Structure 1
Amino acid sequence: MGFNEQVTREKAVTDLERSGVIEGDLSKEIGPDGVGHGPDSDSDDASAHKQAGVKEIEAITTVWEKKTLVLMMILLYLVSFVEMLLVSIQGNLNPYITSEFDLHGLSPVINIVSDILGGTSSLAIAKIVDIWGRTTGFMCLLLLNVIGNIIKATCQSIEAYAAGHTLYWVGHLGILYIITIMLSDMTSLKNRMLIIGINGTPNIAATFAGPKIAELFYENVNFRWAFGAFTIILVGFCIPVVLVMLWHQRKAEKAGLVQKTDSGRTWYQSIWHYVVELDLFGIVLITAGWALLLLPFNLATNTGRGWSSPNMIAMIVVGVVLLAIFVIWEKYFAPVQFFPFRYLKERTIIGACLLYGVMFLSVFIWDSYYYSYLQVVHDLSIVHAGYVLNAFSLTSSFLAPFIGFIISYTGNYKWMSYAGIPFVALGTGLLAKFRTPETHVGILVMCQVLNGIGTGIFAQCAQIAMMAVVTHQEIAVVLAIFGLFGSIGAATGNAIAGALWTNILPAQLTKYLPEEAKPLMPEIYGSFVIQQDYPMGSEIRSAIIKAYGIVQHKMVIAGSAFVPIFVLCVFLFKDVNVRKAKKQTKGNVF
C-alpha cells in the first residue's frame, strides 16, 4: 500500500470513528488490508477498531487462569443472587409502600419512569464499559444502586421514594447488564447462553425466599430496613468482583497487554468530551419524551380533572415532539450518536429487539397489578401471593440452562424460538378465560408456568440471535439496544395497565359499593391495605373483588392482543449455527 493510499485510508477510519460507524458496522469493518471483515469472518480478530474497554477485557482474560475464570463466574453468580433477591423482596413490598402514602393506584407510575431511564441509560453504560472498561462501569452502577436504596430507606414522601427507586433501578439493570456483558466476554458463542442461563438460576431461590423475607421485614421491622440491609449485603458481594478484575487488569498492564495513554485534555475538556461522547442531550430527549408520552395515561384519573386537564394533553404533545426532536438530533446533528440506528438495518436485531419489547409490553399489561389482585381477590398472604406471581419467573429461570444447553448442543436458536409461541399464546389466552374471582389459584399458577416457558425461550434465543450476527466490539451496544426495547416495552405495558386501572376501577367501585360505603371510594381505591381490612364475604369486600375482576379481565384481553406479533419477530431471525460461528472472544474463556 502506497503512502497516499495509507493516508487516505487512515483519514477514512478517523472519520468513521468520529461518526461512530466503525464502532461496529454490521456489513463491513475495515481491516489492515483494506478488506471488509463482517460477521461472516472466521475470526473476530479481523476488527480494525476495538475500544479500550474491549481491549482491556481481552487482555484480562488472556492473563488469568481457568480457575480464575471459574471464580469470576461464581462471584458474578452471587451478585446476581443478591440483586434478584432484592427485586423479589421489593416487588412484594411495593403495594404496601405506595399504600403507606395512600397512592396504591400510582404503583406503575414509579415503574414507568424507572423502566424508561433504566433502558435509555443502558446505551450510555455500553459506551462507558467500552471506553473505560467493565470494572469502572460496574463500580459506577453499584454506586447508583447504593444511593437509590439509601433514598428509598429514608424517604418520607412518594416523590422521594420514586426518585430513589429510579436511581436504584438504573443501577440494578446496569449491574445485571454488565454481568451479562462480562459473561459474554468470558464465553464462546456456542456456550454463552448456557452460562448466562445458569447465572439466572438465583431467581429460583429468590422466588421462594423473597416473599418470605418481605413478609418478615413488613411484620417485624419495616420496609426501610429491607433496603438498608440488602444495600450492605450487595456491596459486600460486589467488592470481591472488583478486586479480582483490578488485580488482573494490573497484571495485564505489567505484561504490556494494556497501555495507559494520556488524553492531554484538561478536566473541563474531559467533561465536555464525555458529554459529547455519551450524547447526554440525546439521553435527556428520549427519556423525557417517553416519560411525558406514557405518564398521562396513569396520572389522568389521579389529577382530579382527568383528561379534561390541559396538563395531560400537553404532556402527550410535548412527549411526541421531544421524541421527534430526538430522531432529528440523532440523524443529523449529534456529534456522536447515542442510538446507533445502523444496527436496525440488520433484520435479526430488529426481530430480537421487537420480540423482547413486545413480550414485556404484553406481560406488563396484565402483570402490573396481579400481586394486588391475588391478595385482595383470593385473600393470599404476602408469601403465597409472591409464590403465585413468581411462578412465571421461576419457570423461566429453571428452564434457562436447559435452553442454553440445547442451543449449545444443536447450534440452532431460530427453531427453538418458534417453540415458545404456543406456550405464550396458550398461557395468555387461558388467562383471558380464568382471570376471574371464581377461578382456583392452581389454574392461575398453570398459566404463569406456561407463560414462563414461552418467555424464557424468547429471552434466551433473542439474546444469542443478536450476538451471533455481530463482533465482540459490538456485544455491549446490541445488548444495550435489546435492553432499551425491553424497558420501553415494560414502561408502555405499565402505562396501559395504569390507564385501565385508574380509568375503570374507580367507576366499578362506585358502581358496586353499597350506598353507605360510596363516600369511602377514594380511600378504598387509594390503599391496598384498607382493601384487605374488609373481611372476606362482607358486602364491601365483595364489591371490591367484583371491581377487581372486571378491570383485570380487560387487562388480560389487552395483553393477549400483542401475542400474534411474536411470530413475525421470530421469522426475521437469521438461521446462524452458533457452533460453527466465528470466534468472538480471546484468552481463557469457556
Structure 2
Amino acid sequence: MSHRQVLEALSGLLLGLFVAVLSSTVVANALPHILHDLHGGQTAYTWVVTGALLSLTAATPIWGKLSDLVSPKKLVQAALVIYIVSSALAGLSQNTGQLIACRVLQGIGAGGVTALAQICLAAMVPPRERGRYSGYFGAVFALATIGGPLIGGVIVDTDWLGWRWCFYLGVPFSLIAIAVLQRTLRLPVVKRQAKIDYLGALLITGSVSLLMIWITLAGDSYAWLSWQTAAMVGGGLALAGLFVWAESRAAEPIVPLDLFKHRTVTLASIASVLVGVGMYGATTFLSQYFQLARKESPTMAGLLTLPMILGLALSSTVAGKLITRYGRWKAYLVAGAGLLTVGFALLGTVRDDSSYGLLAAGMAVTGVGLGLTMQNLVLAVQNTVPRHELGTASSTVTFFRTMGGAMGVSALGALLSHQVSQHLDDSLAAAHLPTGATGGGIPDLKTLPAQVVPMVTDAFGHGVATVFLISAPFALAAFLVVLMIREVPLRTAQQDVPAEPPARQPVGN
C-alpha cells in the first residue's frame, strides 16, 4: 500500500481513536461541576474515571483476541456502536451511580476502538514503517487531549448547553467514523472457530475491582489494618492466582502466558503498568488542581494544560518519523521514561500559589515523556511477536497500561481525598471553624464563605502535588525496566519472523 492508501484506510480509525480519547478528556474539566450537580464526592470523582478504565482493561484483551479470529473492521464498528449507546445514556444520568454504570459501558466501546486501531495498523504496515504512522496516532491522541478539556470547559461554561452535552458530543463523530470505516478500511478476514476466555476476563476484572474498592475505602470506612483489608487483599490476590491458572488451561486465553516467553513482552508489560499509573493516575487530577487550587474556570483549566499536550504531540510525531528513518526505538523509550520521572517530580513541588512557569515546565516535560513511551512500548512488542499474534500482543500491552491506570487512579484518588481532608480539617480547626464548613463533596468555590476559600485552595494544592510526587517513583521504576529491554532493529516486512520462535503455528488469513 502507498502512503496515501494507508492514510485513507487509517482515516476512519484515526477518527474513531479521536472519539475514544475524547470520551475521557472532554469530561475532565467538567467533572467538578458534574459531581456538584449530582451530589457526588471525591470517591465518585475517582470512580467516574476508574469505572471506564476498569471496563476498558477487561475488554481490551477480548477485543484483541477477537481481532485474531474475525473481521477487525466489523469489530471497530461494533465498538463504536457501544460507545454511541453508552454516551447517550451517560448524558441522561440522574445520579452518580447511573453515570458510573454508563461510563463502564463507555469504557468497553472506547477500549475496543483504542486496541483495534493499533491492531489494524499492524496488519497494514511493516514494523519499520510503523513508527511513522504511530506518530499520527500520537498526534490524534494529543489533538483529542487538547480539544477535549477545552470543548468540555466551553460546554460547562455555556449555560444553554450544560455538562450533559459532554457525552452527547461524541455521538455524531462516532457515526461519521463508522461510515468512513465502511468505505475505506479493507483488511483480510480470518475465519476460524472462536473460543473467548470469558472466565479469564471475569477473574481479572474481579481481582482488580476488589483491590480498587479496598484502596478507595481503606482508611475511611475501615482501618488499613483490619479484617476487611485482609479479606479484600486476600480475595484480590486469590482471584489473580485463579486468573493465571485459568489462562494456562484456556483454549484461547485473553492473555496468552506463552507471550511472556518473549523477554520484550514481559518487560514492556511491566513498564506499561508503571507508565499507566502515572499517565492516568496523576494527570486525571490536573483539572481539580486548576479549578479548585487556582480558582480557574473549566475553559481556562483546559487552556492551561496545553504545555503537556503540545509536548506529547510534538514528541510522539517527531519520534515516530525518526524511528521509521533509522529503525531504532530504545533510546526514545529510555528518554521518555526518564523525562516522565523528572516531570512528575517537578509537578510534585507545586502549590496553589506556584508560578505558572514552573507548572508549564513540569507539564511540558511530562508530556514529552508520555509521547516517547506510550506508542513505542506497543511498537517494541509488535516487532517481537509473530504476525498471527499481533492482535493479542498489542492488546496485552494496552491491557496492562490501562490496568495500571485504573489502579493508579483509584489509589491516588484515595490519597488525594485523604490529603485534602487532612489539610482542610487542620486549617478549619486552626480558624475555629466547624469541619463541615465546606458542605462536603466536591466544593463549589463560588458558594463557600470567603474565609474558607483560601483553605480549600491550599488543601487541593498540597493534595494534588502529593499525587504527582508519589507518581514519580513509578515512572523511575519504568525507566529501570525499559533499560533492560533488548533492542531489536525494526523489521522491514510483515512476513519476517522474530528471532524468538513462536509458541503456536500461524493460522492462514
User: Could you tell me how far 1:307 is from its partner in structure 2?
Assistant: 5.3
Partner of 2:34: 97
| Counterpart check, 1:531 vs 2:411 | no
Q: Deviations over 1:52-111 (max 9, x none)?
A: xxxxxxxxx7xxx87544322233333333433443312222222222222230212232
Q: Deviations over 1:392-438 (max 9, x none)?
A: 233212221210111111111112322224422321222233x2123
Match of 1:478, as an amino acid? Answer: A
Partner of 2:245: 328
Relative distance call for 1:308 and 1:561 in structure 2 (3 A) is closer
SS at match of 1:437: coil
The one of 67, 74, 95 equivalent to 1:136 is 74
Match of 2:389, as an amino acid? Answer: E
Structure 2 gaps of 5+ residues are 498-509
Relative distance call for 1:82 and 1:584 in structure 2 (3 A) is farther
Q: Deviations over 1:7-38 (max 9, x none)?
A: xxxxxxxxxxxxxxxxxxxxxxxxxxxxxxxx
User: Could you tell me how far 1:144 is from its partner in structure 2?
Assistant: 1.6
Partner of 1:400: 316
The one of 235, 240, 243 equivalent to 2:180 is 240
User: Residues of 1 paired with 2:277 and 2:244: CA distance?
Assistant: 22
8 A contact 2:68–2:389 mirrored in 1: no
Matches within 5 A, 1:297-446: 297-300=215-218, 303=221, 313-331=230-248, 333-433=249-349, 435-446=350-361
User: Residues of 2 paired with 1:409 and 1:115: CA distance?
Assistant: 34
8 A contact 1:189–1:583 mirrored in 2: no
SS at match of 2:489: coil
User: Could you tell me how far 1:461 is from its partner in structure 2?
Assistant: 2.5
User: Residues of 2 paired with 1:475 and 1:324: CA distance?
Assistant: 26
Moved more, 505-514 or 136-145: 505-514
User: Residues of 1 paired with 2:442 and 2:228: CA distance?
Assistant: 25
The one of 475, 492, 506 equivalent to 2:421 is 506
Relative distance call for 1:417 and 1:126 in structure 2 (3 A) is same
Q: Deviations over 1:173-230 (max 9, x none)?
A: 2112211111222212111021121133234443443333223322231222332242
8 A contact 2:50–2:409 mirrored in 1: yes
SS at match of 1:562: helix
User: Residues of 1 paired with 2:332 and 2:348: CA distance?
Assistant: 26
8 A contact 1:392–1:448 mirrored in 2: yes
SS at match of 2:127: coil
Partner of 2:501: none
Partner of 1:183: 121
SS at match of 2:466: helix
8 A contact 1:109–1:295 mirrored in 2: no
User: Could you tell me how far 1:367 is from its partner in structure 2?
Assistant: 2.7
SS at match of 1:369: helix
User: Residues of 1 paired with 2:495 and 2:400: CA distance?
Assistant: 27
Matches within 5 A, 1:226-265: 226-245=166-185
8 A contact 1:391–1:452 mirrored in 2: yes
8 A contact 2:56–2:402 mirrored in 1: yes
8 A contact 1:83–1:172 mirrored in 2: yes
Structure 1 gaps of 5+ residues are 1-60, 253-257, 264-273, 586-590
Partner of 1:12: none
Moved more, 166-175 or 556-565: 556-565
The one of 156, 159, 164 equivalent to 1:224 is 164
User: Residues of 1 paired with 2:140 and 2:246: CA distance?
Assistant: 41
Match of 2:244, as an amino acid? Answer: V
User: Could you tell me how far 1:556 is from its partner in structure 2?
Assistant: 2.5
Relative distance call for 1:183 and 1:78 in structure 2 (3 A) is same
Match of 2:454, as an amino acid? Answer: S
Partner of 1:291: 209
Aligned length, in residue pairs? 493
User: Could you tell me how far 1:544 is from its partner in structure 2?
Assistant: 1.1
User: Residues of 1 paired with 2:232 and 2:139: CA distance?
Assistant: 41
8 A contact 1:188–1:584 mirrored in 2: no
SS at match of 1:200: helix
| Counterpart check, 1:447 vs 2:362 | yes
TM-score, normalised on structure 2? 0.89
Relative distance call for 1:68 and 1:581 in structure 2 (3 A) is closer
User: Could you tell me how far 1:532 is from its partner in structure 2?
Assistant: 4.5
8 A contact 1:300–1:306 mirrored in 2: yes
User: Could you tell me how far 1:495 is from its partner in structure 2?
Assistant: 2.0
SS at match of 1:396: helix
| Counterpart check, 1:476 vs 2:388 | no
User: Could you tell me how far 1:162 is from its partner in structure 2?
Assistant: 0.5
| Counterpart check, 1:495 vs 2:410 | yes
Relative distance call for 1:259 and 1:279 in structure 2 (3 A) is closer
8 A contact 1:509–1:521 mirrored in 2: no
User: Could you tell me how far 1:290 is from its partner in structure 2?
Assistant: 0.6
User: Residues of 1 paired with 2:302 and 2:220: CA distance?
Assistant: 27
Residue identity (%): 20
User: Residues of 1 paired with 2:453 and 2:191: CA distance?
Assistant: 67
| Counterpart check, 1:71 vs 2:8 | yes
Match of 1:145, as an amino acid? Answer: Y
RMSD: 2.7
SS at match of 1:412: coil
Partner of 1:544: 456
8 A contact 1:109–1:498 mirrored in 2: no
